[in-house]
Amino acid sequence: MLERFAFYSTLSPEEKQRFRQRVALFNMSQEYMPQGVEAVPDDLQLVIGACAVQLTFYQEDFLFPKFENIVVYPKPFPTPQYPTQFHTSEIYEEDGVVLLSAEPLMRALMEPRKYYQIGLHEYAKVFRLKYPGLDWPDLPADTWELLHGVSGFSKEAIHKYINLDEVELFPVSVTLFFTFSDRFREILPDLYESYAGIFGWTKSIS
C-alpha cells in the first residue's frame, strides 16, 4: 500500500524501513475516533499515518502532539463549524482534531493521479501550525492556475471535492508538491525549491 505514495516509492530500503517505523509510532500516539463505524481499520490508519509522516520525515520530531485526535467518518460529513456542508476533511485547531472521510482517502491511495489527497491537505495545515516560523513562501493568486497545470485539478474541482466555501491555497500547493513533484518542479521551480528546503528533501523526488 505504501508504494502507492510517490514519496515513499522513491526512498532507499533503509529510509523505507524508517518510514514504516515512524508510521507505526505515529499511529500508536493517536486517538482514533470512528464515527458511524465500529473501528478505524488498520489499512486506513496506515494511510493517515503515511500522509502525516511524509511531511515530517526529514524532521527529528515527526509527531504532532497538539493534534493527536483523529475523527474518521466513512463518507463526507457535517460538523458544528460547517453544519450544512457535507465535506471530506477539516482540522479543528482549538481541540487539536483532524477530521477525515475514509472513502476519498482510500480513493486517492488507489488512484493518486485521479483523486486529490485530503490526508496530505489537512496535515499540511497541521505542519505549518507546528512550524510557523519557517520561511513560508508567498503564493500569488495565479498559483491556482499553475497548480491546475501541475495536476489537472482545477481550483473549482478541489473546492467541490472538499466541499467547503473556502479552501486555502497553501495546503493544496503542498499536497500537489508531494503527489506531482516532477511537474511541480517544472511549472513552479521556485516554489519547488522553497518546499524542498522546508520539508528537508536531500535529493530529487520523482
pLDDT in tens, 178-188: 999 999 999 99
Tell me the residue type at 163.
N
Strand partners, 99: 71, 90
C-alpha cell at 104: 476519498
**Per-residue tens of pLDDT for the chain, all 206 residues:** 899 998 999 899 999 999 999 999 999 999 999 998 899 999 999 999 999 999 999 999 999 999 999 999 999 999 999 999 999 999 999 999 999 999 999 999 999 889 999 999 999 999 999 999 999 999 998 999 999 999 999 999 999 999 998 899 999 999 999 999 999 999 999 999 999 999 998 544 44
> For a pLDDT cut of 90, what percent of the chain falls above it?
91
Q: Sheet holding 31-34: strands in order across?
A: 31-34, 69-73, 97-101, 89-92
* Cα Rg of the chain, angstroms: 16
pLDDT in tens, 39-49: 999 999 999 99
| Averaged confidence pLDDT in the chain | 94
Tell me the residue type at 100.
L
Provide the angle, in degrees to the nearest 10, between the axes of the packed helices 189-198 and 169-179: 90
